[in-house]
Structures are given as structure tokens and as C-alpha cells.
Amino acid sequence: MRHWLSMLDYEPTVLADLVEAAQRLKRGELGTAADALRGRILTMIFFNPSLRTRTSFEAAMLRYGGHAICLNVGGDTWKLEHRDGVMMDGICSEHVREAAPVLSRYGDLLAVRTFAALEDAAEDAEDRIIRAFARFATVPVINMESAVEHPCQGLADWMTVDEKLRGTRGRRFVLTWAPHVKGLPMAVPHSAALAAAAAGMHVTIAHPPGYELNGTILERVAGWCAAAGTRVAVTTDQRAACRAADVVYVKSWGSAAFYGDPGGQRDSFADHADWTVGAGHLGREAILLHCLPVRRNVVIADEALDDRRSVVIEQAENRMWAQAAVLSHLLAG
């Protein structure tokens, strides 16, 4: 049984096929999506709030004749435990060991969204919650964002760059850190960098000292770049990197050094307030990406978000098409 948990589980050629399938769907070529999704049920489980993720998955299922069920943990459902061997005498009333196989009986796919706890970097890297669902489910499980990755967002990012620049090979992709008001997970930047590398782009990651991404992810980014004949670099010179870019992808993330220390994280963000991205960061023909939601004038200035070079709305739309491709891929067999 196939799951969609991590880009690391797929070769770049397979990821490219999914992007191409998403583009065909957007052009109105129904292909296998209508056949694969008609009459099927997707059950979505949210440990965290969502706007685009929930709506784009529901729209994809409904568009091709399927149905989506949305469950919010702690609201629509019991609090769920995922750890093995614990005495469940706390706030969790049900274990994933029962929840995942039961929900598998009601539908054809399970999709799970959960964030990093931002308390222990090593524990977050194990991605325990979504992997518990994959372990106990009897249907394919989809990662709607986890502690480590957001692979659906990564596919939509790749698709957007390909559309706007008419190709990705050899393009200069810059992922730049930006400040925020609270610590955020590294899932989106991880998937953005993986997608750019798999798409054959030169990848530069710009961030202040202490904001390094996961080493395992960076190793795969470097490996995919090497296989494509492109380069990967990490820099603290944000403006120089951005001004040389074809694609400027802005994302905030927290530092592992401040896990469990929200006050220290806020102070660090304030110390790097000059990393807010403005229109001056962008080259004339560059495009600006952000996964949304975005805090205006904290992460990206109004002047940049409202600039003609900003493609964040198209990027958000492409979530629906990319996810329709993933859904049909998982069910086609």
C-alpha cells in the first residue's frame, strides 16, 4: 500500500510525473482523476487549524465526484494519543491504534495534518504522529503537513514555478528565512527545498546563524542537486541571494536553539527584523512565493505581496490541482 508521507519516499522522476498530472488536471484533462476519485471518501484529520489545506482537499474530492470528511482533533473527535505503552489517564481518550483502522473502514484514504511541537528537535524529526497513522491505517495516508514536511505544498510550489517561468531546469531558487511573532515548524521550508532540488533548480537557502534546517533533508537536497547538475548553497547574505534569484520563496521558521523557549525565540525574531522581505529584494523578472497565511509587514512587506511579481494566489490555487494528482495517484491502482 502506498502512502504520501514524504518526498523522500519518491524519486524526482515520480514527483515530476505528479506535477505534470496536476498541470493536465488544471487544463481540464480529467484523465484518471475522475475515474479514481468518483464515489471515493477522503477522511481528513486536523490536529491544527487550516484554511487552504482543508478547502483545497475538499474541492479536489468534490470536483471529481468524491466526498471529504473533516475531523478536528479535540473538537469533532476525542483527543488522540499516538505513543505506545502509555497509561492513558490524561487528556487523550482514544489511541491512534483504534482510530486509524476504524476510520479506514469508513473511507478510502486518510489525510492527517499536525505540526511540530517545537520542544525537542530530535523528537520532531521522527514525525511520530503521522507515522503512527500510517502504521495502523489500512488505507493510504496523506501528509497534509507534519512535523518535518509539507509535501503537498512542495508539489504546488514546483507546479507554480514551472507555470510562471516556463520551466524549472537551471533556474535559481532562493528560499529565504523571514522573522515572525512566534516559532514555526520547518516543514514548509524542507519541502520547498526538496521540490526545488527535484525540479532541477539551483538552490540557495538564506537564513541568519542558528536557523539551520534538518541535516537529513539538506543531504537529500544536495544529492538531488548533484544528480541534476545544479548547485546548493547556504548563505547569511539574504539580499545578495534574493537579487540574483529567479524565484524568491519566503518562509519563517523557528530555531532549534529556542525550542521550549518562546521568549528567546521572540527576541531572536526582533533581532533579525531587517530580514522582512520587501520589493527591493526582488529582481525585475523574479517571482515571489509564500505558502500563506502570511503576516503582512512582518514576514513580507505590502509592497512586495501586492507587486506584480507576487504569485502567492496562483500558488495557493495549485494546491488543489497538485492534491488531486496525489489523490488519484494513490487510488489509481
Contact (CB, 8 A) for 233 and 191: no
Exposed e or buried b per residue across 228-238, where buried means at least 16 C-beta atoms within 10 angstroms of its C-beta: bebebeeeeeb
Question: 115 φ, ψ to 5°?
Answer: -100, 165
Structural domain spans, the chain: 7-149+319-331, 153-315
Q: What is the pLDDT of residue 187?
A: 98
Give the pLDDT confidence score for residue 89 in this predicted structure. 86
Beta bridge mates, 277: 300
Helix, strand, coil share of the chain (percent; to 5): 45, 15, 40
Rounded Cα–Cα distance for residues 269 and 264 (Å): 9
Answer for the pair 214, 173: CB distance below 8 angstroms, yes or no.
no
Do residues 145 and 53 touch, judged by C-beta distance below 8 A?
yes
Residue whose C-alpha is closest to residue 136's, from 110, 116, 114, 117? 110
Residues of the chain with pLDDT under 70: 1, 30, 32, 333
Enumerate helices (H) and strands (E) in the chain, giving the number of each.
13, 11
Give the pLDDT of residue 53. 97
Sheet holding 232-235, edge to edge: 232-235, 202-206, 172-177, 247-251, 287-289
Is 7-149+319-331's fold the same as 153-315's?
yes
C-alpha distances (whole Å) from 256 to each of 8, 137, 205 are 22, 31, 17
Q: What pLDDT is recorded for position 1?
A: 58
Q: Which CATH architecture has domain 7-149+319-331?
A: 3-Layer(aba) Sandwich (3.40)
pLDDT the model gives residue 77: 86
pTM for this entry: 0.96
What pLDDT, on a 0 to 100 scale, did the predictor assign at position 333? 60
Contact 142, 152 (CB under 8 A): yes
What CATH number is given for 153-315 in this structure? 3.40.50.1370
